[in-house]
Structure 1
Amino acid sequence: MLRLGSPRRRVNIGLIGMTFVLSIFAGRLIQMQGLDSKVYEAAAVDQRQHVETIPAKRGSITDANGHDLAVTVEARELSIDPSKITDAGVRAKIAKILAQQLGKSEQDMAAKLARTDTRYQRLASDVDPLVASRLLQASIPALNAKKTYRRLYPAGDLAGSLIGFVGDEGKGLIGIERTSNKVLAGRDGRQRVETGRDGQRIPMTSSQRTAPVNGQDVRLTIDRDVQWAAQKSVADQVKKSGADSGTVIVMDVRTAQIVAMANAPELDLGNWRSAPASSQINKAAADVFEPGSTNKVITAAAALEAGMVTPDTVFEVPDRIKCYDQVLRDAHAHAAESMTFRQAMAESSNVATVMAARKVGSARLYAMLKAFGFGSTPGGGVPGAEAGLLPDYRKWSGSQSCTVAYGQGVSVTALQMASVYQTIANGGVKIEPQIVAGATDASGHFVPAAPGKQTRVVSETTAKEITTMLESAVGEEGTGHLAAIPGYRVAGKTGTANRYDAGLGRYDGYTASFVGFAPADDPRLVVLSVLQNPKNGHFGGQLAAPVFKDVMTFAIKSKKIPPTGSSAPPVRTRAGE
């Protein structure tokens, strides 16, 4: 006979099994809602709460008169969730629309949309709000727009390498944008919000917001109009002379504020991403070169300060002089002649300059070079400023003890050389060059920058004597006669130096320069022009002096600087007069 199992036992076994399973669930429930409730509550909060960055608006950069050189405008950052667009045909249509509106390639947009395994793809930043609005109204699935800012440079290449640019992360990479980044950038805000699975904010939920602090505006000492004139003049001369590059600096004599700092070729800030690295260097402050005869004013200052010579001291000057194992020559062959020191400066005689330097001695000449700022990085916050090269006089070679006197064997920047002539024009008082006029404070009020440090380098008497010598250099018999400006008294000096090419490891080509100030008897502006490696001519008086004349003429008219109405005092130029 077949015996059936006991129903009661089966039921009991089932109940025991169910009780065991339910006890496991109950234990887990107690663990989740009791012991670990805070952990899971925090995880849930983290899943739906997000911290959003509220970008601060970057401050503007303006010229001395408040004209915008760099501004920040509102923009949108567009992103999309590709996982919401699964149909290949729809993706292709959306990619075409996005490419047309954003100025991107259709292939690039299609590749981003094809990433259906991701929930976020950034399509573009710095999008114009009107373009973003059109796309949001085009019924594109899962398209999101985030408020941001973009940097614009309304003046294009005006002072491009000086101003610099901002990278994708919103930080200044070169120029004033970099050196003044802390002032310009401000401080981003933060906002904590709760969102659902689709990324949309959950209404009526709590949020915490820290407001952003916008950046401050920075005002430069640059004058937009003078900057434009300087860039145009040097760019035209670079093209005409076949030079590799050119530089112009305009400086206020009384404050050492930089009115213009021009380079050619210049960086176009509208297309900085595609610009060559060489154009991103502020050559006026960073390029180092041997100054040539513009350096002779320092030798003259050392000789006059030491009482070794006067402007009327007569030298018997041949056209060459032996210096240890080298024979050094004047630029043009001539019979031995008697020259006053003033005439030697006007005609830029290397031989007479070496004679004066020998009276001074290497130690005194070195000390004067240091006092004028050679071998030291200029202050004042000019981006990329370099110190140049001034070897210790105890390490000068035999010939270098002579060549330094006329600007070979020592290296400077255009900014340093402009500072030398600012010192002479300012009665012997050197002022630290200045490029930033000031910045706005937290309340939007302009706060001027502290004036540059002042240091007396030479006596006022020496500075005036050198000025009369420089005025002779721009006279009819001087090497800088092409720099003369009708109606104004001009003082200045030409420079023509052999150019050291670091890439070749040897001297190759020339550096042509001219630097001076006007009016000579009441100096207001210094202008320096430099041309590197010109092919069509190479003398500073031939190539750089006309640039000086163009820029100085424009600047004094723009600044409404009148002629003094005086005439140069009669001086003894030639020996025997």
Structure 2
Amino acid sequence: MVRRSATGSPPIPLHGGGRSSTEADNPRSSRRRVIQLQPVPAGRLLTVYLTLCLALTGLAGRLAWLQVKEGDRLQQRARAIQTQKTKPIGKRRPIVDRKGRLVALDEERFTLWAHPRYFNFPGDDPNLIRSSSDTVEKLAKVLLVPAADLMRTIDGRKTGVKLATDLDPETARRLRELGISGLDLEPYPQRIYPQGQLFANVVGFLNLERVAQAGLEQSRDKDLRRQETTRQMRRGADGTPLPDGLQAGVLYTDDLRLQLTLDARLQQVAQQALARQLKQWKAKRGSAMVMDVRNGEMLALTSIPSYEPNKFWKFSPGLFREWSVQDLYEPGSTFKPINLAIALQEKAIQPNGTVNDVGQLTIGGWPIFNHDRRANGILDFATVLQVSSNVGMVQAMRRLKPSIYWEWMRRIGIDTVPDTDLPGAVAGELKTREQFTTQPIEPATAAFGQGFSLTPLKLLQLHAMLANGGRLVSPHITRGLRSGDSLAPAPAASGLQLMQPAVTKQVMDWLETVVEKGSGKGVQVPGYRIGGKTGTAQKALNGVYIPGARITSFVAHLPIDDPRFVVLVVVDEPQGGNAYGSTVAVPAAKEIIEALLVLEKVPPSTGKKPAGQPTVRG
């Protein structure tokens, strides 16, 4: 029975546990819920509002911090990711001789690195990893190294294995052609000296760390460094280069090279001629130099023994210095023409004057005699040079006040460093003014080239002064930096005028008689007028002369009618009783002179009958 409510609402079952048929048929009606809306407490709204405000304030503060405080740092990090930098590898400028022949250059070399975990051959599946043995078989044929040696080097390592270094560009090209993944070629510059020992004494070398150790490489280190800058290029997200990343001038190519005044052909002739004489006379060392008297340019400067700059580690460090520029010696008779020029300049002697060579003198209790202990009697000054009379020179220089003599020794720079670009040049040694003027033996020994010391380079400079009319030129071996293949012309005549041209011309005439009639006969070349002077001096060590030790030398001027060149050959400690300047140094000087006349195309002298052209002995 159903009871209807008074309000007309649906009937209510009488049995409490039952469900109406409507609820059973419609399951959605059972999920409907009625949510009663209640007012939110004001405190909760305020909390949410303050939380949101605090979050927004923190976000704004963080943005401000990143943009204002951290902006520069973050921008740098972004640019570092977007920018590719190429650091310079420290290349150096080439060195060439006076004709443009390469003397020193940087050549690209490579180091081969292997990463076995990435080994893959062309055509392989990208995911395939080749074995080290397969790779080594291909590499061994290119590197010309046994495969077993390469395998021992890898020895199970997965990456970063140095397989070879000092690889030339051709070998590197062949390795690239293999196309093997997992191989890296790291380029680096290596200094090469294609002329070998020929210029080692003046050019020097770089060590294995590319640090200059000697010669021009060291003294002109800054000039020889290329102008290299770090290159930066902006890239897009996909790696595409962007044009706005290049700075002005970043692609500038430095093609400068240092040009020498030396001639490789003459240098070779001088080295070979000197080597023959040192071998024949079992000498300790020797040096040969050629200078243009007009401007001080050196055409040849060679010393023996020398070293191989491409393998410098195999040689004694004592060979890395140029002794003709850095070591002092007493010049002996080769200084006598300089003394006669000083006496003529001061009018202490006359061109037609004479001296009495009595064979021996005693000065201040010290005996002075000629090398052959012979008295030559009355001599003119040409003959004094021809017979190399010590007594005659003392007689001539005694007419000059010691104080004036000493001042001239200072004026011509005996005790000062020559103005030169040759590295390591040193000053000579000269007695003090008081010693020179109060002890008669000092000017007496200086008269025949002993009692003071200088370098062979300084002696060459002084003889160039005699040849060029009295100008003291600066000896040098570089013409400066030149661009590309261009060559610098020879500089104009220069130098400080110290003596009258008439004075030096008179001395040159006397020197010509030494070659015509005296000890310099062996250097005669048909058709050319040549002057010269031999020298055989005792060798001193710590102020004491070494018994039997001597230094032989010869200096030549040519041609006398139009002086252009001075040649100096110095040989240290030749062995044998007949070892003199005329027998040891003159033959080498003649070979050099013959080559010089051909290479510089020197015309025959006026007043001389031309003969067959001299030949260059290679």
- TM-score bracket, shorter-length normalisation: 0.7 to 0.9
CA distance in 1 between partners of 2:182 and 2:219 (Å)? 40
For residues 84 and 560 of structure 2, what CA distance do their matches in structure 1 show? Answer: 67
The counterpart of 2:282, out of the listed 242, 252, 260, is: 242
Normalising by structure 2, what TM-score?
0.75
- Equivalent residue for 2:42? none
Structure 2 CA distance for aligned equivalents of residues 95 and 215 of structure 1: 41
Quote the offset at 1:249 in angstroms.
Answer: 0.7
Q: CA deviation digits over 1:47-76, x for unaligned, max 9?
A: 897743134653322222222222333333
Query: How far does residue 465 in structure 1 lie from its aligned partner after superposition?
Result: 1.4
Unaligned runs of 5+ residues in structure 2 are 1-54, 120-128, 610-618
Q: Is the 8 A contact 1:434 1:452 kept in 2?
A: no
Residues 342 and 58 (structure 1 numbering): CA distance in 2 closer, same or farther, change over 3 Å? same
Change (3 A) 1:80 1:323: farther
**Alpha carbons 2:295, 2:494 under 8 Å: kept:** no
Helix, strand or coil for the counterpart of 2:213?
coil
Of 491, 494, 497, the residue aligned with 2:534 is 494
Listed as ranges, the matches of 1:313-462 within 5 Å are: 313-335=353-375, 337-396=377-436, 398-441=440-483, 446=487, 451=492, 453-462=494-503
Q: Tell me the equivalent position of 2:88.
A: 54
Which entry has the higher C-alpha Rg, 1 or 2? Answer: 2
Tell me the equivalent position of 1:64. Answer: 98
Q: Where do 1:111-150 residues align within 5 Å?
A: 126-136=166-176, 142-150=182-190
Structure 1 residues 229 and 109: CA distance shift in structure 2, 3 A: farther
1:260 paired with 2:300, answer yes
Distance 1:121 1:423 in 2: 62
Tell me the distance in 1 between the aligned counterparts of 2:199 and 2:260.
11
Map 1:75-94 onto structure 2 (within 5 A): 75-79=109-113, 90=132
Does the CA contact (< 8 Å) of 1:98 and 1:109 recur in 2?
no
Give the conservation status (yes or no) of the 8 Å contact 2:446–2:452.
yes
Map of 1:225 onto structure 2 = 265
The offset of 1:237, in angstroms, is 0.6
- Looking at structure 2, the residues matched to 66 and 433 of structure 1 have their Cα atoms a distance apart, in angstroms, of 20
Distance change >3 Å, CA 51–CA 32, structure 1 → 2: farther
Structure-2 change in CA distance of 1:499 and 1:333 (3 Å): same
Percent identity over the alignment is 26
Whether the aligned pair in 2 keeps the contact of 1:95 and 1:110 (CA below 8 Å) is no
Residues 257-298 of structure 1 show CA distances to partners (whole Å, capped at 9, x for unaligned) of 111111112332332232222322123322321111111112
Q: Could you tell me how far 1:357 is from its partner in structure 2?
A: 1.9
Mapped contact 2:528–2:559 kept (Cα < 8 A): yes
The correspondence for 1:470, drawn from 501, 511, 515, is 511
Which of 217, 226, 230 is the equivalent residue of 1:177? 217
For residue 158 of structure 1, give the secondary structure of its aligned residue in structure 2.
helix
Cα distance in 2 for residues equivalent to 1:317 and 1:343: 11
Match of 2:317 among 249, 252, 277: 277
SS in 1 for 2:398: helix
Distance (whole Å) between structure 2 residues aligned to residue 300 and residue 104 of structure 1: 72
CA contact (8 A) 1:186 1:213 kept: no
SS in 1 for 2:462: helix
Please tell me whether the aligned partners of residues 429 and 457 of structure 1 are also in contact (alpha carbons under 8 angstroms): yes
Q: Which residue of 2 aligns with 1:73?
A: 107
Equivalent position amino acid for 1:436 in 2: T
Provide the TM-score with structure 1 as the length reference: 0.79
1:507 aligns to what? 546
Please say if 1:553 is aligned against 2:587.
Answer: no
Q: Is residue 171–residue 185 contact of structure 1 (8 Å, CA) maintained in 2?
A: no
Taking the aligned partners of 2:77 and 2:280, their CA distance within structure 1 comes to: 70
CA contact (8 A) 2:536 2:550 kept: yes
1:493 aligned counterpart, secondary structure: strand
Q: C-alpha distance in 1, partners of 2:294/2:115?
A: 61
Deviation at 1:126, TM superposition (A): 4.7
Alpha-carbon distance in structure 2 between the residues aligned to 1:72 and 1:428: 42
- In the other structure, the counterpart of 2:44 is none
1:82/1:450 CA distance change after superposition, 3 Å: farther
Q: Classify 1:354/1:82 alpha carbon distance in 2 versus 1 (closer, same or farther; 3 Å).
A: farther
Find 1:203's aligned residue among 216, 228, 239.
Answer: 239
Distance 1:280 1:399, change over 3 A: same
Task: Report the counterpart of residue 538 of structure 1 in structure 2.
Answer: 579
2:196 pairs with one of 156, 181, 186: 156
Unaligned stretches of 5+ residues in structure 1: 1-25, 196-200, 569-577
- Structure 2 Cα separation of the partners of residues 170 and 140 of structure 1: 31
Distance 2:151 2:464 in 1: 56
Deviation track 1:117-156 (CA, whole Å, cap 9, x = no partner) reads: 9x86766665312222344556777542234433322222
Report the CA distance shift for 1:328/1:145 in structure 2 as closer, same or farther (over 3 A): same
CA contact (8 A) 2:360 2:375 kept: no
| CA-based RMSD | 4.0
